[in-house]
Chains A and B, each alone.
Chain A
Amino acid sequence: MPGFIFRRLLATIPVLVMVAIIVFSMLRLTPGDPAAIIAGDSASPGQLEAIRTQLGLDQPILTQFLIWSGNLLRGDLGRSFFFKTDVTTLIGQRLEPTLSLALLTMAITLAVSIPLGVIAASRQGSLTDRLIMGFAVMGFSVPVFVIGYALIYLFAVELKWLPVQGYADLADGLWPWLERLILPSLTLSVIYIALIARIARTSVLEVLGQDHVRTARAKGVSRTGVLVHHALRNAAIPIVTVIGLGVGLLIGGVVVTESVFNIPGLGRLTVDAVLSRDFPTIQAIVLLFSVVYVLINLVVDISYVFLDPRIRY
């Protein structure tokens, strides 16, 4: 087992290196002086010169890459000329709102999508099934910001149950924090619920057709018992796989949701950085989110061994 985990860890290294190469070359492959692009429009010649020396822009491209990735490994993501601070500090400040939003979204998604998928599968072809699957196709098609504004209009503007926008730190109390996160995480979870309910239904249906399920029913295990112990257990691997892949969607959704709900997190920072063409920040965010995405899928891969004792690597 430890050998397997170690091998999987090793296998992610080339992917991460490739992500770093892509992010690095985005700037170098663009016509123009990288120093000027990094510094933005308001930089003085002195600042430009300082960036050139720091990044080794007068040296061969390979040396430049090594300097850059060396800084990266030491946690130095460069300096944002727009926000006038280190990118690492900037990201640190914006971490809490995004993490709160993502975790709450994940919790809602898991609590809703898997029961929905199992219910749909257990009543295949019924009205309930068709309603759930109809919702899944819709959830996949209605853009995050349209859902967000619809929820704001209904629950915040018309019914006045929840605040319209904004974020409160967890340190300032649980309810103010939760109250402002309910609508954003509901918004963000819709597409994710749609995705996972669909795959949960398909995989449970596949298991339900197998002999061991019929045997379990024949020896007197209840419908619910079969669904939970036999079907869901065996359907776990595809579901967990899609949860991991869906994180890519979730990250894109965070960017949009934080903009709609005015949450000062990493997503909002991404948009601000893109609008102000603040490249050190953009590069750092792309890297950070990609690393998170790769690592979550690594955890998913490793979880196979625990979910299915038959899998031995």
Chain B
Amino acid sequence: MLWGGGVLGLMVLIAVAAPWLGTVDPQLIDPAARNAMPWTQGEITAEASESVPFTFRFGTDSLGRDVYSRTLYGARVSLIIGAAVTTLAIALGLIVGLLAGSIGWFDAIVMRVLDGLMAIPPILLALALVALWGSGLWTVILAIAIPEFPRVVRLVRAVTLTLSAEPYVQAAMALGVPLSRRLWRHILPGTLPALIVQGSYIAASAILIEAILSFLGIGIPPEIPTWGNIMAQGRTLFRVFPHNILFPGLFLSLTILAINVMGDGLRDELDPRLARAI
């Protein structure tokens, strides 16, 4: 769990500090430096200025963009998407789950809808939604959050049902504490351990699905550097220049691994009985 958190912390640091880590503009196209191998010494020509010597640590892509800079800046988009999808899915799932766990007729309707939603494989649902809404940062976030949030609802609903039967909640009800206050004061805190664990798995899954969408050419617009986009760009010339896939793939795998390891650690700390949701 410690090294998981450490690696994730490092990625956050890289994402924040990307401009100061020897990078150039990740969108800068230098036609003279196309398809350079990693560690090539070359020079890069910024717009309207003379060429400066530059080492292409991870090589360049077929348009002559520096893969090192793109990979480092790519951490930003991946982490933002991970955080945004997790926040959205948890917020939505929490509200719906709390209400479903306490209002009978609402529960009956919501659970039927969620059964249908969960029967659609997540990546397919995300693909269909992006196709419908068009690609962009916000549509991608929403399209990934929708297949993820039913699991949060189920979790929160289960905890709400269990806790509502506890004497302290029953006592609050008998004292006439209104539903909203009961949910906020007595039930919500009880859902937090499970939500923290679930949240880490959602973040890992969101980063993965974004990379898949971008890799397939359906996610974030291609000029924005994301790990999936860099790999999508490198697909055609992969056999000759594997670095376009290797480096972003390494960063992506390491980040997801770190979050998953952290999630497993959190689960063991917070609730050993909590089974890993699939």
Contacts and interface: CB of A to CB of B under 8 A. Distances in A.
A142 B204 CA distance: 11
Contact of B253 (A146, A195, A259, A282): A146
A249 B216 CA distance: 17
Contacts of A18: 112-113, 115-117, 119
B90 interface: no
B129 interface: yes
B152 interface: no
Given A149-B242, A282-B128, A290 B123 contact: no
A14 B125 CA distance: 19
B147 to A, nearest CB: 10
Interface stretch (A86-94, A113-121, A122-130, A240-248): A240-248
Contacts of B123: 251-252, 255-256
Contact of B119 (A198, A277, A285, A294): A294
Contacts of B116: 15, 17-19, 21-22
Interface stretch (B46-54, B96-104, B257-265): B257-265
A145 B131 CA distance: 21
Interface string B139-171: 000000000000000000000000000000000
Given A149-B242, A248-B122, A252-B122, A138 B257 contact: yes
Given A248-B122, A255-B216, A145 B231 contact: yes
B215 interface: yes
Given A157-B239, A248-B121, A141 B256 contact: yes
A82 B238 CA distance: 29
B130 A274 contact: yes
Nearest to B238: A149
Nearest to B239: A157
A275 interface: yes
A14 B116 CA distance: 8
A143 B256 contact: yes
What are the 6 tightest A-B residue pairs by CB atom distance, in nearest-first order? A18-B116, A252-B123, A141-B257, A146-B249, A251-B121, A141-B256
Interface of B: 112-113, 115-117, 119-125, 127-133, 204, 208, 211-212, 215-218, 231, 238-239, 242, 245, 249, 252-253, 256-257, 260-261, 264, 276, 278
Given A18-B113, A153-B238, A282-B128, 4 more contacts: A22-B117, A137-B257, A249-B278, A274-B130
